[in-house]
Structure 1
């Protein structure tokens, strides 16, 4: 049976939002911050962040960029207030080791922050750095039980979640059936090689159990293509 999304009421409605090269790479072979998308894509990304109650990304993504994307556009801030949301979504980093540099600009940004880690990874972090720390029991980390983790998010009031990568975290979430929609920007370049990270890392899926998608919309801005898919709810 194919991997399909978990029921909506139990976990936040989760949307994977990423930009990739034509050949599916989300960064070059040095695995640094990806700066190859356009201003239109950055506007698109901010709109997805603004629509969400929470934003989730991996520790590798945070180390590459040093920051997270906050909501800055006046119209988007107004829309959040009209919906009864705070100005900024909770910005959550997944780091099993908890090994993050406290001097990263992320920790000085005026956004609420969260951490998903192990009990050992949580040591040394407090309310000054993270408004919320979720420590995951060892029996839910091999492999990571994202259905259980996201249920904790839902109890925290996170009903909509934007998943911003990287490829390892996207693979984890897809494996657990915790992604409901995918919004991909296809950028006009080819990075190639085996060292550059892909949209979905890890061991991958066999074709007969791979997540299946339904295209909801597509649009072209300049040389970029914006694709919006729903992950199918049945095999």
Structure 2
């Protein structure tokens, strides 16, 4: 499995404000880039915090890109994956509609009631006791044929994926805004590393809209 983390952040490294509300950091050219990356992926992954904050649909917007997927005998949209240890994903979330298959990765701590509610519109993957065991969950997803995986946030999930050694590539649009705030989410939140920091090899720098897109490979992958 090849895991690509993609994100847009402000010039000071924030994904959104301290209110955790969606902020337009990039513009149309970057939206098109993200749409192409989705179209090239077998699955798009987010954490439940992103679902609760933004209610994303995570589908391919461009009909031409969807048609190219159909022509190559793939579904019009990639599968969608929510990492949700306790099953907090709302049953009316946009990500649970019938535009694509959706997987919800749960831990054993998720209640029977929440499992039953989500099972009506999602494939459930159980891995881990209190929190989702990402290594086991991603191995299960790979068994379902998901080889090219795009991760769209948030910061807690991105940190956890780096911590688990699952990230192969990082692509970041850095926009021309300063957001600030010690409580505003960053690219990689969570506990943070204190030793053995993941190392990245810079592959490219591309100007886009009023910012830049940086592409790194994870050095030890």
Question: TM exceeds 0.5?
Answer: yes
CA distance in 2, matches of 1:58, 1:77: 24
The residue that corresponds to 1:6 in the other structure is none
Q: Map 1:74-113; keep pairs closer than 5 Å.
A: 74-108=63-97, 110-113=99-102
Shift of 1:83: 3.6
The residue that corresponds to 1:135 in the other structure is 126
The residue that corresponds to 1:5 in the other structure is none
TM-score, structure 2 normalization: 0.91
1:161 equivalent among 116, 130, 149: 149
1:211 equivalent among 187, 198, 212: 198
CA distance in 1, matches of 2:128, 2:53: 27
TM-score, structure 1 normalization: 0.86
By relative contact order (CA 8 Å, sep 6+), the higher-ranking structure is 1
- Are 1:125 and 2:88 an aligned pair? no
Query: Counterpart of 1:152 in 2: which secondary structure?
Result: helix
Asked if the contact 2:91–2:117 (Cα under 8 Å) also holds between the matched residues in 1, the reply is no
CA distance in 2, matches of 1:106, 1:54: 12
Query: Counterpart of 1:147 in 2: which secondary structure?
Result: helix
What RMSD over aligned residues (CA atoms) do the two structures have, in Å? 1.8
- Structure 1 unaligned residues grouped into runs of 5+: 1-11
Query: Counterpart of 1:209 in 2: which secondary structure?
Result: coil
**How many pairs were matched up?**
218
Query: Counterpart of 1:93 in 2: which secondary structure?
Result: strand
- Are 1:185 and 2:177 an aligned pair? no
Shift of 1:55: 1.0
The residue that corresponds to 1:4 in the other structure is none
2:164 equivalent among 171, 176, 193: 176
Shift of 1:109: 5.4
Shift of 1:72: 2.6
CA distance in 2, matches of 1:209, 1:156: 32
Asked if the contact 1:55–1:90 (Cα under 8 Å) also holds between the matched residues in 2, the reply is yes
